Each structure stands twice: as structure tokens, then as C-alpha cells.
Amino acid sequence: MLNTYYADLHVHIGRSRSGKPVKITGAKTLTLPNILDMASDVKGINLLGIIDCHVPEVIQELEEMLESGVMAEHEEGGLWYEKVCLLPGSEIEIYDERCQGPIHVLVIFPSIEKMKAFSFYMADRMKNITLSSQRIYESAHNLQRKTRELGGLFIPAHVFTPHKSLYGKGVKTSLSEVFLPDMIDAVELGLSSDTTMALSVEELRAYPFLSNSDAHSLEKIGREYQTIVMEKPTFLEFKMALRQEQGRRVTANYGLNPRLGKYYETTCANCSAMIVEEEGTSCPQCGSSKTIRGVKNRINELGAAARPLSYAKERPPYIHQVPLEFIPALGPKTLQKLRNHFGTDMAILHEVEEKDLMEAAPEPIVHHILRAREGKLSFHSGGGGKYGKVASDKSTN
């Protein structure tokens, strides 16, 4: 029987078991056990991609959890822990002779053995295998081929962000400048774009879209995610969903309104002032001509030739979900009270009725949660590395 599951496939490890940094910019509390408990018990995520599993100490910890029975490997791929299935993966930086700039990609594998084999492969092509998101000294094509050889999935990450992404820095106009198009399994949109924006880039219409958190702290897990119809949350079922086989499919993407993302608007690299590119690229405040290109403007540039948008293939809806941490006036104590009452963030965001929410939180907070469900909140746009904000007024977007 097919069921709906929540999936977040881009979560970092901040520190190893011994306290060594893995993702240097990740929180120290972002350890493997803490991530699993947060995803399973607090966030309500069913399918979890941890993308620093190439690190030898992380591999060792996973193997010990399997040996002790705390975790179990499923025959269809994935490592089961309580209510969540972990998919082992890695985030890698590519910067070969075809690239205009560095590109981050995700690779996800079905088992710890496949992950180990991939880690050994990378160790000869990387300066520091103990850290996350490191540059691999190998061509993008060969990396794609190796991923496919080991039965993994290859997914360009946060493809529009200005730094270290496919369209932000990596290529001039087309992914085929760097990648083998038929060896891409899906595309991760990133926090400053959504399905409608991405579909204006014609070549992306061939791929399923993923919306993941890119979590660098425990609370960021599940800030973007998707619902997937599968028989069970395993690697094989996820792979079938990407290919829309036997009824498996991504049914909805949930993500920040792009205006909440850190790189939606173009900003001045010197003073961070917003820049309206239609009026010129010199900063109106300090006069600098150096900018951080906004995702909105980059997509407009890439998609100009493809408009008007006409795309027949049915797409899952992209729902502008506002994470609880963005809700105005919702502090840690009230958030914990909501979690104590209703279990997980997924339940609070999607399932709990208004009358029940009112028993655990003040009316203004409940009002914002309900308006977030309906997509009726107002926003102040983000850019230049700063998140946007939910407006405290009650006007419609």
C-alpha cells in the first residue's frame, strides 16, 4: 500500500563523535545521534539524507550503530533508525576545466558499503576527506559515471544560489557545459527559488525538483522538504518516486517563499543595499559596481528565451511553507509547548486544527501559522546572504 512520507535529503553533520569538525559552518550540536533524534521525534521527517557520510569517522559510527542494533540496514537501501530512514550521501564541490566556477552536487547511495567504496574513491581525489563539501580533483563526467557505477543518485545542489552552484557560478547558460544530462537524477532548487521560477529554464523541465533544508543546525532540519508517495521510505522507493514508477512520485514540494531566501534579490557586495538591476547595477547608496547577483535576476536571464512558459508535464505543487522559526513572536518556550502538545513540527504545520492550536499558543501566533498554511503571509525580501522576514502585519502577499 502506498503512503505519504516527508523527506529532507540535505542535512549536514557539524561535528563527528570525537568532536572534530565535519561541516565547519555547521553547529557543534549537529551530531549524528542528535540529527536522527531531531528528524524522527521532533521534526517528523521520514526519509533523511545526511550528506557528510563519506567522512571515515562518520562511516565508523554508522557501522557501530548497525552492529549494536541501534540501526538496521534495509534490503531496499537505507539505514533505519526508529521512525526515520537515513540515506547516506555526500556533498562535493566540482571545479573542473569545463566549469566557470565551483559547483556543489549531492550524491546519495543505498548502503553503507556503497558509501565506503565512494569514500575510498574520493580519498585519492580530495585533499581532506574528513570535511564536508570539499573540492574533488576529478571531472564532473567521471564523478557522474562513478556515482552511477555504484548505484547512486546524482543531484546538483541549490542550483541557483550565487555561490558554488550550477547556474550561480558554474555555467554560462546550460548544464550540458559541465554535466552529462542523462546522468542527472534530480535537481535541488535551493532556498531562493521555487518550481515556477525553475520551470522558466527550459532544460530543467526534464528533471524532478527537490526542496531540501541544507541544514547547518538542528532547528533548520525540515525548513524545506517534500512529500513523497511510496510503499515505504527506502532508497529503492525514493529512486522509483523520482522516476514516477508504479505510482511512486513526489506529490508536493514545501519550501520557503523565495523572497525569504538569502539570495533572492541582487545586493551590493560592499554595503548590502538592494539593487534594482533594471535601473542599473551601480549601488545607489555607496556607488560600488560589485554585486551579489540575486536568484530572481539570474533566472530571468536564463529563462528569457523560454518564455512564455508552456510546459505540459504535470508538476507537483510547490507550497510556500513558512518554518515555525520564521513565525513572528514564536519563541522557544511556545515552540516547545506546541511540540509537547502535538508531537512533531509536521503535525503543527499541516494537521492540527485551529481550536487545538489555540490551546497551546496565543491567537496572533496561531493566526500566522494558519495564514502560512494558506500562503497568505507578507514578506520582506532577502538578499546578499541575509534571510528575508515574515512581515508582522496581516496583509496579503
Residue after which a domain boundary falls, among 258, 282, 308: 258
> Does 331 share its domain with 187?
no
- CATH of residue 235's domain is 3.20.20.140
Asked if residue 323 has pLDDT above 70, the reply is yes
Asked if residue 312 has pLDDT above 60, the reply is no
User: Domain tally for the chain?
Assistant: 2
Q: What is the dihedral of CA 222, 228, 232, 236, to 10 degrees?
A: -100
Residue 153, domain member (yes or no): yes
Q: Where are the alpha helices (DSSP H) in the chain?
A: 32-37, 56-68, 112-123, 140-149, 195-199, 235-242, 295-303, 332-342, 345-350, 354-357, 363-374
Residue 290, domain member (yes or no): no
Specify the pLDDT at position 304: 63
Residue after which a domain boundary falls, among 213, 238, 258: 258
Residue 70, domain member (yes or no): yes
Asked if residue 320 has pLDDT above 80, the reply is yes
Asked if residue 12 has pLDDT above 70, the reply is yes
> Does 196 share its domain with 61?
yes
* Peptide bond preceding 308 in cis form (omega within 30 of 0): yes
Specify the pLDDT at position 63: 98
DSSP label at residue 143: H
> Does 246 share its domain with 335?
no
Asked if residue 233 has pLDDT above 70, the reply is yes
Asked if residue 161 has pLDDT above 50, the reply is yes
In tens, the pLDDT along 63-101 reads 999 999 999 999 999 999 999 999 999 999 999 999 999
> Does 328 share its domain with 252?
no
> Does 227 share its domain with 368?
no
Segments forming the whole domain that contains residue 167: 3-258
Asked if residue 284 has pLDDT above 80, the reply is yes
Residue after which a domain boundary falls, among 258, 280, 308: 258
> Does 247 share its domain with 348?
no
